[in-house]
Structure 1
Amino acid sequence: MKRLVLLAALVLVATCQTVYQCPKDGRVFKCSSEPKEVCGIKTVHGEQVKETFVNSCQACSLGKVDFTVEGKCENYLAEAEFCPPSYKDVNACTEQFQPQCAWFNQSVKCLVYPCAIEVQNRCYGCIIKNVLFTTEGDCPKSV
């Protein structure tokens, strides 16, 4: 059944991504105040710190965050560990077994809840196209 759900999810995948990598060169931006709320993520001491900003430009200005995800932070699961854009360039993951639930972004239209797949570890989840974040442990069975 899991394979059928995964196959259905993969068939319906669109190409858009909801993650934006902030420039790392310390540039100062001239930003508009046009609202398009994003969740800004910065890794501090190995932990993700999340804060909602008016838009990606303001979030990335002066290096406040590493990357942004569309929408308010509180719209996501509190335990969500967002996949940094750099994970999409990973070619191989360790074989460490630390079960994760890898949640797809909104471009994937799932037929059943959860819109996620169980994976061996965070790396395996984050290298899957259109996975937005992971949570520890198995995926929930129902709402």
Structure 2
Amino acid sequence: MRKLIFLAAIFCFVMAQKVEDCPPFGTELNCSGEFSPVCGVRGFSNNKQIRETYYNQCIACKIGHVEYTVEGKCEEFPEDGHFCSPTESKQEICRYLDSPRCGYFNKDVSCTSPPCVKDGRNVCMTCSIKNMLYTTKGKCKQ
């Protein structure tokens, strides 16, 4: 039984989607040819995140000039979704701005009927919830 629980814990750890900052000197990285697609986020334009899919995290940081990456292809996520950056995920103080968001948890969170979602007051408050991957405008549809 303990072995089964241990294997389940390892499986959950492996399945968790990673959001990773790029190092400050990403152009100096030596990248491998390993195919592990990521969605690179490079800032904002017209209040939308600028995103592009890259071959792997290293290449995204080296040639993509991205701020952070999210495991998986950009096309796998809603176009109007807002990825929670590593900085937003660590935010401790948020304004009390009322702009409802539906937050989608990463694969580390299991629920009885996917998708695993939670309503939040705004982007800051929603992204600061542990294991939150991205948000969309409005309240979650139940």
TM-score for the superposition, normalised by structure 1 = 0.82
Q: Is the contact made by 1:100 and 1:118 (CA closer than 8 Å) also made in structure 2?
A: yes
The residue aligned with 1:39 is 39
User: In the aligned structure 1, how far is the partner of 2:67 from the partner of 2:90?
Assistant: 16
Kindly provide the amino acid, as one letter, of the partner of residue 127 in structure 2.
Answer: C
Aligned residues: 128
Kindly provide the amino acid, as one letter, of the partner of residue 112 in structure 1.
Answer: S
Structure 1, 51-60 or 19-28: larger mean CA deviation: 19-28
What are structure 2's unaligned runs of at least 5 residues?
1-11
The residue aligned with 2:108 is 107
The residue aligned with 1:11 is none
What are structure 1's unaligned runs of at least 5 residues?
1-13
Q: Is the contact made by 1:40 and 1:52 (CA closer than 8 Å) also made in structure 2?
A: yes
Higher-RCO chain (CA-CA 8 Å, sequence separation at least 6): 1
Q: Structure 1, residues 9-52: CA drift from partner, whole Å, max 9, x if none? A: xxxxx665510100123542111111011111111345311111
TM-score for the superposition, normalised by structure 2 = 0.82
1:88 CA displacement = 2.6
The residue aligned with 2:90 is 89
1:63 CA displacement = 5.5
Backbone CA RMSD of aligned residues: 1.7
Q: Does 1:125 align with 2:113?
A: no
The residue aligned with 1:8 is none
What secondary structure does 2:28 align onto? Answer: coil
The residue aligned with 1:54 is 55
Kindly provide the amino acid, as one letter, of the partner of residue 22 in structure 1.
Answer: C
- Percent identity over the alignment? 39
Q: Does 1:24 align with 2:24?
A: yes
Q: Structure 1, residues 33-91: CA drift from partner, whole Å, max 9, x if none? A: 11011111111345311111110000000462110011111111121100110113211
